[in-house]
Every structure is written in C-alpha cells, then in structure tokens.
Amino acid sequence: MLLLAKHELVKLLFNRRGVIALAAFALVWGLLLWYPIREASSFLIDPNFRQLLASVFGEAAVGNLFLWPVAEMAVFWVAALYLFPLFSIFVCADQFSSDKTRGTFRFISLRTGRNALFFGRFSGYMLIQMILLAITVLASVLLASSREASLLMSALMSGVLVFINITIILLPYTAMMALLSLYANSARQATIYAILFWAITSIVIGIVSHYLPMLSEALQWILPGAQISLMINTQGIGTLAYAPIPIIQAVVLLFIGRSYMMRSAL
C-alpha cells in the first residue's frame, strides 16, 4: 500500500502531465495569494469594512471570521474551503479509470491485493493533496509575515489548523472519486459522474426536506461538503467542530468503494 502511494506521488512529480498540473496549480494559487488574499486582508483589518460586512450579512454569519489573529489566514481559510474540494474532484478522478480502460488492473493485481491497491491509491492521492495544501499554507504564512514579522507564530498556528481541517474535508471527496473512477471508463467520465451525483443528490434532498422537514437536518449531512458553509464562521479550535462529519462520510465511502472493488471483475 505504501509503495503504491509513493508511486502515485513520484508519477505526479516526474510525469509530464503531472508537472503541467503542478505548474497550473502553482500559477492559480500564486495569483490568488498575491491579489485577492493579499488585497482582501487589508480590508479585513479595516474597522469600517468590518462594520459594513457585518451590517450586510449579519454579525452572526461572519463574526468569527474577524476574530482570526492573522487576516491573510482568514481569507485563505475561506478560499481553501471551496477551492481545494473542487480541485480534489478533478485531480482524483483518474485513480482507477485509466487502469480499467487499459486493462492493467489484472497485471497490477498479480503483485498486490485489491485492498492494498484500493487504499494505496487513495493514500497516494491524499498525500499529493496534502503536499500541495502544505505549500499553499506555507506561502500564506510567508505572505502574512512579510507584512508584519510579529505575525509569524500566529500565522503558523492558524496555518496548522487550516491544514488539518482542509485535509479532513478532502477525505470524503477523494474517497468519492475513488469509487466513481472504479465505475467510470475515463477521468472525464468520473468527473461528470461526480457533478451529476452532487446535483441530483442536492435536488433529492431539497424535495424530501420540503415534504418531510423532520428529515432535512439528517439528510443534509449525506452530501460531502455540506458543512463547508457553516465552517466559514469559525476560528481557532472551533474550526474542528465539524471534523467528525467528513470523517464518517469518508469511512462510509471507502467501505462502499472497497466492497465494489472486491466484487468487480478486473
């Protein structure tokens, strides 16, 4: 399992497609860090802007966002909550679909078990995302400390919390794409399946919640990422309050994916 995870990481670093993907990722986040995050942080520390934002959205909706000790990390927190799950859907779509199309599953299974193959690929893609997340967190910390050197330790502590939270959030997304890539014939098809799943599930939950309101609170946690909008208005240790939700979702999805792989023909 560890060898398979390492192989996925090496493939990303030394494969031409992987290097291009890394370059695109670095470019996008470089622009986000230098323009929206760098500029928005200057607004967050402005008391007049705080008052305006609170009057528009309500103090209860964004109040804790202003309590972050480092403004850059607060803006990065909001951006990462939405962008990294979206990135996960695209980067993890090819966990198994290419092997399925090429017919190399049978060859790989001669040297490893299906459990090791499934969890090794999942671990490899999680490792890739964690490395990229760590790089962006470190860049945000450096950006904050360049504005004021005394913010370094506070930015590091906030960065550690952001890293832990986003890593946990990515677990069900990566597990979902592992399951869908087992069923799909290509990475593009797996991505389409993911979009359809989120769209159809959201519609079904909305309809059921309309006619059976007592089930609405329970049903909303079925969909990965349902807690993200609630996590915006958290800070410090409070950001971990919703951690059990994606962990449980990931365990369920990994169990379904592993069961599907054990029963499918390679």
Please answer whether residues 114 and 262 qualify as being in contact, where contact means their C-beta atoms are separated by less than 8 angstroms. yes
Please answer whether residues 99 and 105 qualify as being in contact, where contact means their C-beta atoms are separated by less than 8 angstroms. yes
Residue 43 sits in which domain range? 2-263
Q: Report d(CA 169, CA 131) in Å as an integer.
A: 15
Residue 41: predicted pLDDT? 66
9-38 as b/e: b if 16+ CB within 10 A: beebeeeeebeebbeeeeeebeebbeeebb
Please answer whether residues 83 and 140 qualify as being in contact, where contact means their C-beta atoms are separated by less than 8 angstroms. no
Residue 9: predicted pLDDT? 83
pLDDT tens digits for range 178-222:
999 998 988 889 999 999 999 998 888 888 887 888 877 778 888
Residue 257: predicted pLDDT? 93
Query: How large a percentage of the chain has pLDDT more than 90?
Result: 35
Mean per-residue pLDDT over the chain, rounded: 85
Report residue 45's pLDDT band, with 50, 70 and 90 as the boundaries.
Answer: low
pLDDT tens digits for range 224-244:
998 888 888 888 888 899 999
Report residue 71's pLDDT band, with 50, 70 and 90 as the boundaries.
Answer: confident
pLDDT tens digits for range 118-134:
999 999 999 999 999 99
User: Considering only CA atoms, which of 189, 191, 177 is closest in space to residue 122?
Assistant: 177
Least confident of 16-20, 23-27, 183-187: 16-20
Query: What type of residue sits at position 262?
Result: M
Residue 178: predicted pLDDT? 94
Q: Report d(CA 153, CA 160) in Å as an integer.
A: 11
Packing angle of the helix pair 114-147, 152-183 (nearest 10 deg): 150
Total residue length of the chain: 266
Least confident of 27-36, 71-80, 166-175: 27-36
Listed in sequence order, the DSSP H helices in 2-113 are 2-14, 16-32, 38-44, 47-57, 59-62, 71-91, 97-102, 105-109
Residue 86: CB atoms within 10 Å: 11
Least confident of 36-50, 60-74, 197-211, 218-232: 36-50
The total number of structural domains that make up the chain:
1
